[in-house]
Amino acid sequence: MSTKATFYHAGCPVCVAAEQMVAEGLDRSKFDVEVVHLGLHISRIAEAERVGVRSVPALVIGGQPFHINHGADLAALKA
Amino acid sequence: MSTKATFYHAGCPVCVAAEQMVAEGLDRSKFDVEVVHLGLHISRIAEAERVGVRSVPALVIGGQPFHINHGADLAALKA
């Protein structure tokens, strides 16, 4: 059984580095990785907030949010 | 060729969660993962600082620091 891992980002340089190194570095035999660009898919911001995501880039693994460095607050994406 | 990935932590609950989910989730066929407890190995704080680590937990991949959530500032470990 794969664990769901969702990488939320907004296309910022900090996000791209985290995606390339951390999200793409996850073991695909253990994780089902989905990458979501919240700037393009604003409708999914509420879903990210529900699991505790406050800023991007963030990696949610098994429902737990891990904020990786800091690109932008979610609030900034809604403006 | 494996890429070196170093996970720096200080044993804090935030660190343990990040280690279990992110550091242990890395693909071991791509990464040579080392876990360093800076509270127990204070002599390695300088090495972490040199690559830009400011707080733990942090994952350094290929020389790039990724701060994951926030457990403690490095300065607090030196006190």
Which residue in chain B is spatially nearest to A30 when comparing CA positions?
B25
Q: Cα(B16)–Cα(B9) distance, rounded to whole angstroms?
A: 8
pLDDT of A1 above 90: no
The number of C-beta contacts closer than 8 angstroms across A and B is 52
pLDDT of B11 above 90: yes
pLDDT at B70: 95
DSSP secondary structure of B9-53: E-S-HHHHHHHHHTGGGB-TTTEEEEEEETTT-GGGHHHHHHTT-
Model pLDDT for residues A31-75, shown as the tens digit of each residue = 999 999 999 999 999 999 999 999 999 999 999 999 999 999 999
Q: Which residues are bridge partners to A56 per DSSP?
A: A72
Which residue in chain A is spatially nearest to B70 when comparing CA positions?
A67
pLDDT of B32 above 90: yes
pLDDT at A64: 96
Inter-chain touch A21–B67, beta carbons under 8 Å: no
Q: Give A14's Cβ-side CA count (13 Å radius).
A: 18
Helical spans, DSSP H, in chain A:
13-18, 45-50, 74-78
Q: Give A9's Cβ-side CA count (13 Å radius).
A: 19
pLDDT at B54: 97
Inter-chain touch A25–B66, beta carbons under 8 Å: no
- The whole-number average pLDDT for the span B61-69 is 96
- CB proximity A67 to B under 8 Å: yes
